[in-house]
A and B are shown apart, each in its own frame.
Chain A
Amino acid sequence: MAAFLGPFLLLLAVFQYWPVAQMVRDSLYDFELLNPGLRKFVWLENYLYVFTDPDRQQAFLVTFGFAAGVVATVIPTAFLLAAYLNGRLPARAVVRTIVFLPVVTSAVVIATMWTFLLEPNNGLVNSALSAIGLPRLAFLTSKAQALPSIILMMLWQQTGFATVLFLSGLQSIPAEVEEAASIDGANTAQRLWHVTLPLLARTTVFVVVMMTVFSLQAFAPPLIMTGGGPEGTTNFLAFDIYTLAFNLQQPGLASAVSVVFMLVVLAISLLQMRLLRARWNY
């Protein structure tokens, strides 16, 4: 038994539990990565800083704002797309493949790609806007547009994933249910709203939580596209933690942010499991 389970548990202990324990310990100290031996125990000072420093508050705010924005755009788009693809369409498999491509493309490549798509002078998007007579936009260099631009990118990246999940949900709905609804005289929109949507509640919860977690983990966009700016409007937590620890040499503070962040994500994930365990009757 030990031979079967031992290596797994050993590695898990070394690379997951031990770092978590270290992180909790580090969050109570003030030190620099340059000289980790020289550390000062500061009680909960780092946590106090996390909760009072305006920069950290902004990081929490934009991260959750970003997640909310992604969920609010991806879910309806993906749902409609899935409903559309679920109809009798020519080349459905091809469309599904195309929509899914961004899911297998790395976050780095996507962030790099979109940096250039959204480039103000020579970017493709501005060029397309000009072509149809619309004004060019500043995108990532504008305080107001940077976050929405990254949400748009996430919409492009994640819609395929959500669509595939919705699609498999839709395909598990018995055809008789839909037919019964159309016999009752419901039109397409009514049918989607009153029949299909409630039946997909479980899938929807799953997709919502998934999108939330993906968004909360976003790191490549600030690193590659914005450096967390302008004015901290895209300073997502994963990036903030990285900057605090490695650029600003405050790993203690970074650990405190990490602990708070970890607890929040853990809470969301547990909520997910609770919701998923609940039964919806088909």
Chain B
Amino acid sequence: MRPLLLALALLAIPAAARADDDVSAPTAACPKGVLTLHLLKPQNNPPFPWQITAFEKDNPCIKMDIAEVPFGQLADKISVLAASGNPPDVVVYDGPNTQTYAASGILLPLDSYLPAGFKDDLVPATLIEHSYEGKLYSPGTQQTTLALFYNADMLEKAGIPTPPRELNKAWTWAQAMDAFKKCQQGEGDNVTVWGLAPSRFGAATPGFVYRDLPFLRTYGDPNAPVESSVYKTYFAVAPDGKTAQGWLNTPEAVEGATFFQGMFNTAKITPKAGIPNAFQDKKACFTLDTSYFIAGLVNNDPGFKWGVTPMPYAKTPIVHTGSITLGVMAKSRHKDEAAKFAVDLSTGKAAEEFARVQRILPVLKSVYPKIPELQQYPLNIFAQQLLQWGHPRPPSAKFAQYDKIVTDALRDIAYGADPKTRLDQAARTLQPILSR
């Protein structure tokens, strides 16, 4: 049996051997040796190779070792590695999870590493998203919002006037609904063109918080008295992130959920099941998507004219913000260098260069005037929405759980569950989790 056990042990070595030293022997250029920093990031997301190369060029004594996972598994992977004895130094993670990670002590606060005035320069939504108990845990890399894309050829054929490009003229949901109905082709089982494309976010079912919770939040009003349910509806969770009861399931939220449900069940202008590439394949007139969607339409011409109009609203306009971002693991053995990496990539010329090359919405207000595209249609719609209407997804140290439970609730409502009962249930299920 001994050879067998030996074989097993040999197989296990590659796994255990990662505990090697991260610092090489000193060289002439690097008297302290070359340090290897471990970075965990989602596939097809920043930082991109050119950013890494640039950083390594400026810091010849640091080498980046990169591990990639699919975006969908990122959160699980981070929680696993955080608990293990050998975490990466830098992680790229989904911004709304900042508070979760901060609360469980996974992330390092970065305040002392950031240049003076950095916080004041941050877009407000990013500042809220990445702060926990007064400390900033991530400088942020990019932002995005959702807007309504439309197939201009189809709209013209249906006799719908060109939708507005200005935020102050944005459609209400009632106006949008009229357009969806007019543009839809076919009825019942034989719809050939849907008014609104199904969600491509999350698990390919309706309800994903990022896209669909604003349908409820827009029925709220941040200027109403703080104790009123209209006010609470707008925020969808208490400021301390510990109560959903009375914030998520207000009468106004139920009104919003009822409208949301109507799109699937009474007006039937959007399908309950996903259709891949519905917009590009001319199976839907409108779709809600992010600024990244523009690049796809520009690079692969869908063969029709398209346009973008601001996110419709009911009472108060609102868009969800948040994107993936950089953080430093609290357990990193090379905190200063890891923090330098995170900060260098997010400030100064590097931040500007990133926004210019990738055409993303920057997180620093000072970068906006320097990128002409951000002032021009269609990207200006996303940028203005971010600055004027942008709110983080409900901030909470238990956002991951909030996200899952509310997404399930909205999905069920889209499928036909009673909006009030289902929202009440979600608030009830959430309560013990949030208040822990």
A–B direct touch in complex (beta carbons closer than 8 A): yes
Q: With a CB–CB cut-off of 8 A, which chain A residues contact B5? A: 7
Query: Which of B273, B275, B400, B412 has the most C-beta atoms of chain A within 10 angstroms of its own C-beta?
Result: B273
| Interface mask (B255-289 → A, CB under 8 Å = 1, otherwise 0) | 00000000000000001110100000000000000
Q: With a CB–CB cut-off of 8 A, which chain B residues contact A229? A: 408, 411-412, 415
Q: How far is the CA of A33 from the CA of B83 in the complex (A)?
A: 7
Query: Which of A120, A122, A142, A247 has the most C-beta atoms of chain B within 10 angstroms of its own C-beta?
Result: A247
- Min C-beta distance of A252 to chain B, whole Å: 11
Q: How far is the CA of A228 from the CA of B83 in the complex (A)?
A: 28
A120 touches B106 (CB 8 A): no
A34 touches B83 (CB 8 A): yes
- Min C-beta distance of B229 to chain A, whole Å: 25
Given the known A-B contacts A32-B104, A229-B408, A249-B401, are A141 and B82 also in contact in the complex, defined by CB atoms under 8 Å? Answer: no
Q: With a CB–CB cut-off of 8 A, which chain A residues contact B101? A: 34
A247 touches B401 (CB 8 A): yes
Name A34's contact: one of B82, B404, B411 (CB within 8 Å): B82
Q: With a CB–CB cut-off of 8 A, which chain A residues contact B105? A: 35
Q: How far is the CA of A38 from the CA of B105 in the complex (A)?
A: 11
Is A43 close to B, CB under 8 A?
Answer: no
Q: With a CB–CB cut-off of 8 A, which chain A residues contact B416? A: 142-143, 230
Given the known A-B contacts A34-B82, A227-B411, are A7 and B1 also in contact in the complex, defined by CB atoms under 8 Å? Answer: yes
Which residues of chain B in 180-215 are interfacial with respect to chain A, using CB atoms and an 8 Å cutoff? 189, 203, 205
Name B429's contact: one of A55, A141, A249 (CB within 8 Å): A55
Given contacts A7-B5, A36-B83, A247-B404, 16 further A-B contacts (CB under 8 A): A7-B1, A30-B436, A32-B104, A34-B79, A34-B104, A34-B106, A121-B271, A130-B189, A138-B272, A141-B272, A141-B273, A228-B408, A229-B408, A230-B417, A248-B433, A249-B400
Q: With a CB–CB cut-off of 8 A, which chain B residues contact A4? A: 1
Q: With a CB–CB cut-off of 8 A, which chain B residues contact A33? A: 79-80, 83
Is A179 close to B, CB under 8 A?
Answer: no
9 smallest CB-CB distances across A and B, nearest first, come from A35-B104, A34-B104, A230-B415, A141-B272, A34-B79, A3-B1, A141-B415, A231-B412, A230-B412
Q: With a CB–CB cut-off of 8 A, which chain A residues contact B415? A: 138, 141-143, 229-231
| Interface mask (B372-414 → A, CB under 8 Å = 1, otherwise 0) | 0000000000000000000000000010110011001001100
Q: With a CB–CB cut-off of 8 A, which chain A residues contact B82? A: 34-35
